[in-house]
Amino acid sequence: MTHIESGVQGAKRARWREVNPWKLLREIAEGLPNGEKEEVWAAFWHEAQDADDYLEAITRYFFDNAFLSLKKDQDGTAKHHKGKPKKESLESEVETRALMLLQMMMPNGKQLGDCTGPDCRRFGGWLRGLAKLVPAGKTVGQSLTEAKVRRLWVATR
């Protein structure tokens, strides 16, 4: 099995090597302070393609990062997500957001749970429907549970 060095990966490790393409790029960029990306790229490529040691270092940098990514994919430890999110994760996201609905700051400076029916009516949108469920003299938090607010919010999306 191939051994992958633990510790710092990618750009930081590339800077530790004897042949350092980062240093070359920095020198070129500093020499062209007003240079556009393509101009700096052209100068960097011109220098790197004429030096096998730089081409090897650049290729090694790519390989180290790509190989690590492949290993993470194979091990199931990759941090990125491919494809559509699973239904469970969408439901979990809705629940998480809903848990915060009563703590959501409203235009009047109060949290939704501290607002009255008339406050919600003035805010408009889905909160008008919420206002109909809040009795006079009561606040949203006194009248409704998170689950009830969540159901109304989800139904109006």
Q: What is the pLDDT of residues 111-131, one digit of tens each?
A: 999 999 999 999 999 999 999
Q: What is the pLDDT of residue 21?
A: 79
pTM for the full predicted model = 0.40
User: Computed over its alpha carbons, how large is the radius of gyration of the chain?
Assistant: 28
Angle between helix 52-75 and helix 37-49 axes, rounded to 10 deg: 110
Query: Which residue positions in the chain have pLDDT lower than 50?
Result: 1-7, 98
Report the C-alpha gap between 122 and 141 in whole angstroms. Answer: 17
Q: Which two tokens stand for residue 82?
A: 């491919």
Residues 101 and 150: beta-carbon distance below 8 Å? yes
Q: Could you give the count of Cα atoms lying within 13 Å of 145 in the half-sphere of its Cβ?
A: 4
Is residue 139 classed as helix, strand or coil in its secondary structure? strand
For residue 67, the model assigns a pLDDT of: 81
Q: What is the structure's pLDDT at 119?
A: 95
The CA distances from residue 84 to 89, 90, 98, 113, in Å, are 10, 10, 22, 34
